Amino acid sequence: MTTETIPSIDQEIDDVLAKLVKGERRDPEAVRLACERMDSMREEIHKGVGIVDIAVPSIRELRDR
């Protein structure tokens, strides 16, 4: 992900919120694009840092307080 994607993500969030306010709850094309972006971001993170395992240590830390 590059810094150029941040404004477009902000714009997409604004667009989704505007649709929700109007009562438009499901846009199959938007869902497909979001899924593709999430998959791409997950792959990019995986290539850059490997498997990120934060859930189990975080849960253990919270449990042991």
* pLDDT the model gives residue 39: 93
How far are the Cα atoms of 11, 22, 42, 58, 59 from residue 38, in angstroms, in the given order? 16, 25, 6, 22, 24
* pLDDT the model gives residue 7: 62
Counted domains in the chain = 1
Per-residue pLDDT for 5 more than 70?
no
pLDDT digits (tens, 9 = 90+) for 8-59: 778 888 888 888 899 887 778 888 888 898 899 889 988 988 877 788 888 8
Instruction: Provide the whole-model pTM.
Output: 0.51
Alpha carbons 32 and 57: distance in angstroms, whole number: 32
* pLDDT the model gives residue 36: 92
For 24, the domain range is 5-63
